[in-house]
Amino acid sequence: MSHFCPAYPKPRKHRAPLLRMFFSARHSWMDALYERSYAMQMGEVHLPGLDLYMVNEPGLVRRVMADEAASFPKSALQGEALEPLLGESIFTTNGAQWKRQRQMMDPAFAQARLNVAFPVMRAAAQDMLERLRQLPDGTEQDVEIEMTHVTADIIFRTIFSVPMEGADAHRVFAAFARYQALAPRLMLPSLFGVRWLVWPWDMWRSRRAAAEIRGLLEKMVRPRYEARQAGRPHENTDILAAFLDARDAVTGEPFELEELVNQVAMLFLAGHETSASALTWACYLIAKAPDVQERMHAEVLHHLSDREPDHTDMKQLTLTWNVFREALRLFPPVGFMAREASSACPMRDKQVPQGATVVVSPWLIQRHRQWWPQPDAFNPDRYDDDASREPLKNAYLPFGMGPRVCMGASFALQEAALILSSLVRHFRLEAVPGHVPMPVGRLTIRSANGVRLVLHKREPS
C-alpha cells in the first residue's frame, strides 16, 4: 500500500564539490546531502577547518551517544551557534560543568511531571482553541505561528505560572526565525576554515535576535531572583521556584542570576521550539491525509465523548500518539547532533582523529533506506506493525539517546497528544492547494515558506 510522501529537498545524485557544498549549506544543511547519505553506514568529509564523520550505523550511533558518551562530548561548533541565546546552559556545556547543572536541575522537573503539568497544558490548549474559534470558518492560517504560540504558552506557564501574551509569543517567533536563518551563515565559515567570511552585520543581527528573547525571559526571572535574595520567596511552586531553590551538591551555592537566565532560556527554547516544529509538521501531514485525520477525530470522540480530557486519557489515543511519532520520524526537530572525538579512535574501516566532529543525524537515520520500509512515506500505522519493532529500537532517536537524552520527552509527547486531539476534535484541517511546505535544516527543521492550512469548524458532537 502506498502512502502520502511529503516533499523534502531532493538530494543530489553525487556529493557536491566543496565550494558548491559551502554555498548550498548556507541556506540549509539539507541542501548539502546527496543520495548516498540516506543509505550509507558511515561517511566522511574533510573540510579546510574540520574533519567530519557522519555515522548512521545503529551500533556506532549507540557507541557515540550512549556507551562511550563521555568520549564524545558536544561539539564546540554547535555550542558556538547557541551560546548567544542559551549562554553556558545545560544544552551547551560538557564535563563537570554539565554534571553540576544537571544535578541542580533534575529536582526542578518534578514540576513538569505529567499529572502536575497537565492542567497547565489544558488551559493553554483551551486558549488556543478560543483564538482559532474567533477566526471565520474556512480561514487560511499559518499553523507554524499558532503551534509556536501554544507551545511557548505551555512552557511559559510551567516555568513562570503565568500565560504568555500573544504579542510576546509573536515577538519570540519572529526573533527565533531570524536567529535560525542566520545560524548556518555563522557556523559554516568555521567548518570551512574561513571565519573571516562571517559578515559583522549577520553577527550583529543574530546577537540582537538572541538578546530580544533573553530580554523577555530576564524580565520575568530578575524580580523573583532579587526577591529571593532579599528573603521574600515567591508563593508559586513552578519550575523557576525550583531553580531558585536548587543548590550545588558540593558548595551549597545557588544559581547566579546569569546562569539562572541561561537555564531558563534553554528550557524555554528547547521546551517549545522543538515541540512547535514537530506539531506543525503533524498538522500538515494529517491535512494531507484526511482519512487519518477522520480516524483521529473518531478516536477522540470515542474516548472523550463530550467531556474535557484528563492526563490519563492521553495514553488511550493510540492513533494520535502514532501520528505524532511519525511526524517526529519524518521531521525530527533536531536534524543532526554534533559530537567531538576526545581522542583518536577506529570506526568501521576509518581512523577518526582526535578533535574530529562526529555527526549523528536523526533526519538521515529515520529515513534510512536500509532500516525503514517506505522511509519517506507518512504511515502512522507502521507503529502497530511488528516489522517496525527493530527500526524503532535501533533507528529512532528524535529525543536523542544516552545520558543527554531530552529530559522533557514525556512532557512533549503528552503536550502533543493534547494539542492534536484538541485540534481534530474541534476543527478539520485542510491543505491549501498548490502550497507545498519545504523543510529547511537550521537549528531545528522548519518550513522555508510556512505551513498554511485551511481550518473548518466542526459541529459540536
Local mean pLDDT, 10-residue blocks, the chain (461 residues): 80 71 62 87 84 92 95 80 77 85 77 74 95 94 92 90 80 77 65 54 74 87 90 79 86 89 85 91 97 97 89 92 97 91 94 92 94 94 87 92 88 94 97 94 86 92 61
| Whole-number pLDDT of residue 195 | 54
As a whole number of angstroms, the distance between CA 249 and CA 251 comes to 6
Q: How far apart are CA 167 and CA 309, in angstroms?
A: 28
Task: Look up cell 577518526; give the residue.
Answer: 352
Three-class secondary structure of residue 452 per DSSP: strand
What DSSP line would sit under 369-384, residue for residue?
TTTSSSTTS--GGGGG
Task: Give the DSSP H or E segment for 54.
Answer: strand 50-55
- DSSP-derived letter for residue 12 is B
Alpha-carbon gap, residue 444 to 331, rounded angstroms? 9
Structural domain boundaries enclosing 130: 18-427+439-449
Domain assignment present for 290: yes
The answer to whether residue 58 is domain-embedded is yes
Which of 281, 163, 270, 162 lies closest to 224, judged by CA?
162
d(CA 160, CA 234) in angstroms, rounded, equals 11
Q: Residue 196: its pLDDT value, please?
A: 43
Q: How many CB atoms lie within 10 A of CB 239?
A: 26
Q: Is residue 434 part of a domain?
A: no
- Tell me, yes or no, whether 455 lies in a domain: no
CA atoms within 13 A of residue 268's CA, in its CB half-sphere: 30
CATH of the domain at 207: 1.10.630.10
pTM of the model: 0.90
Could you tell me how far CA 71 lies from the centroid of its own chain? 25
- Please report whether residue 80 resides in a domain: yes
**Is 432 a domain residue?**
no
Element housing 354 (H / E): none
Give the separation between CA 421 and CA 302, rounded to whole angstroms.
Answer: 12
* 222 in a structural domain: yes
Alpha-helical (H) ranges within 331-403 are 362-365, 389-394
- For residue 454, give Cα distances in angstroms to 136, 175, 286, 295, 298: 11, 26, 12, 19, 20
Total of domains in the chain: 1
CA pair distance 163, 220, nearest whole angstrom: 12
Predicted local confidence at residue 383, as pLDDT: 92
